């Protein structure tokens, strides 16, 4: 089947969610990486829990709730202004270094983002990082009032860009999202940003496992859900060659 469109997850895939660590560290010296890991883990937990409870709130609200949970749990004091400054980083996340070149080299295909992010925060993010002009669509799950990996979220691809699942390559570094796409019927490329070998080396001494390592172990590996991706790639830069071989 020919690939006519490449659809990217945003947070963790094109954009580095770890880039909030500088802001959290500046606000709470010594706690930057701990906040960053708990916040991100909880942020996704809340998307799943709110979806299951049928109590959707926007990803912007979920991002705020999960940050509040994190800071309060760690016993950290903050002003509303300090809190707002941290959350605002989600409108200015760093692109992965290879993201723009990969998008540029795929410009002969339909390119889109499908993200949990609310439409306004996603639009701000792609505009702030100069990615807006490279995309045919910047799709938020917002209109479905449910988050990935619900099939309803992936329905939005065909509904927005008119390409059938069999002709879409969905790209995500989030194991759960790669599984969700695969379960739905998309072709899936999973970005393995932390190799098995690197992780095994990092956990060799269990006494040194801190929040960052735990995050890698929890959220940067493929899930054991029997929904294996079609392709495993090390970086976005591998996509043009992979699609070239396929088409």
C-alpha span between 8 and 117 (Å, rounded) = 13
Residue 188's CB is within 10 A of a number of other CB atoms, namely 24
The Cα angle at residue 12 between residues 239 and 212, in degrees rounded to 5: 125
Catalytic residues: 9
Q: Which of 144, 190, 173, 150 is nearest to 48 (CA)?
A: 150
C-alpha span between 195 and 46 (Å, rounded) = 27
For residue 26, state whether it binds a copy of itself (rule: CB under 8 A): no
Listed ranges 38-46, 85-93, 127-135, 165-173: which one lies at the site for a copy of itself (CB under 8 A): 38-46
**Strand partners of residue 233:** 191
Cβ proximity to a copy of itself, 81 vs 197, nearer residue: 197
C-alpha span between 6 and 238 (Å, rounded) = 13
Listed ranges 37-45, 85-93, 106-114, 125-133: which one lies at the site for a copy of itself (CB under 8 A): 37-45
For residue 233, state whether it binds a copy of itself (rule: CB under 8 A): no
For residue 43, state whether it binds a copy of itself (rule: CB under 8 A): no
For residue 217, state whether it binds a copy of itself (rule: CB under 8 A): yes
For residue 52, state whether it binds a copy of itself (rule: CB under 8 A): yes
For residue 30, state whether it binds a copy of itself (rule: CB under 8 A): yes
Stretch 165-184 residues interacting with a copy of itself (CB under 8 A): 176, 179-180, 183
Farthest CA pair distance, the chain? 54
For residue 224, state whether it binds a copy of itself (rule: CB under 8 A): yes
Q: Which of 247, 17, 49, 240 is nearest to 117 (CA)?
A: 17
- What lies within 8 Å, CB to CB, of 65 at 6+ separation is 46, 57
Cβ proximity to a copy of itself, 168 vs 179, nearer residue: 179
Cβ proximity to a copy of itself, 137 vs 199, nearer residue: 199
Residues of the shown chain interacting with a copy of itself in the complex, contacts defined by CB under 8 A: 30-31, 33-34, 37-38, 41-42, 45-46, 48-55, 65-66, 68-70, 72-75, 146-151, 176, 179-180, 183, 196, 199-200, 203-204, 206-207, 209-211, 214, 217-218, 221, 223-227
């Amino acid at each position: 089947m020919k690939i006519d469109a490449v659809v990217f997850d945003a947070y963790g895939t094109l954009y580095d969610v770890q880039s909030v660590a500088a802001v959290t560290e500046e606000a709470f010296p010594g706690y930057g990486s701990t906040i960053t890991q708990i916040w991100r883990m909880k942020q996704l937990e809340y998307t799943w829990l709110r979806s299951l409870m049928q109590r959707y709130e926007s990803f912007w609200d979920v991002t705020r709730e999960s940050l509040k949970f994190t800071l309060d749990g760690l016993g950290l004091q903050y002003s509303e202004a300090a809190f707002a400054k941290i959350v605002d980083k989600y409108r200015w996340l760093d692109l992965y270094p290879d993201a723009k070149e990969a998008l540029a080299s795929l410009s002969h295909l339909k390119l889109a983002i499908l993200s949990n992010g609310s439409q306004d925060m996603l639009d701000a993010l792609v505009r702030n990082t100069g990615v807006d002009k490279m995309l045919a669509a910047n799709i938020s799950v917002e209109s479905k009032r449910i988050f990935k990996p619900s099939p309803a979220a992936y329905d939005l691809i065909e509904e927005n860009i008119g390409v059938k699942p069999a002709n879409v390559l969905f790209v995500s570094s989030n194991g759960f999202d790669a599984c969700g796409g695969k379960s739905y019927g998309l072709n899936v490329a999973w970005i393995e940003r932390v190799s098995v070998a690197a992780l095994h080396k990092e956990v060799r001494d269990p006494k040194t496992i801190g929040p960052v390592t735990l995050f890698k172990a929890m959220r940067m590996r493929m899930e054991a859900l029997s929904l294996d991706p079609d392709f495993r790639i090390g970086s976005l830069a591998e996509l043009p060659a992979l699609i070239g071989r396929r088409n």
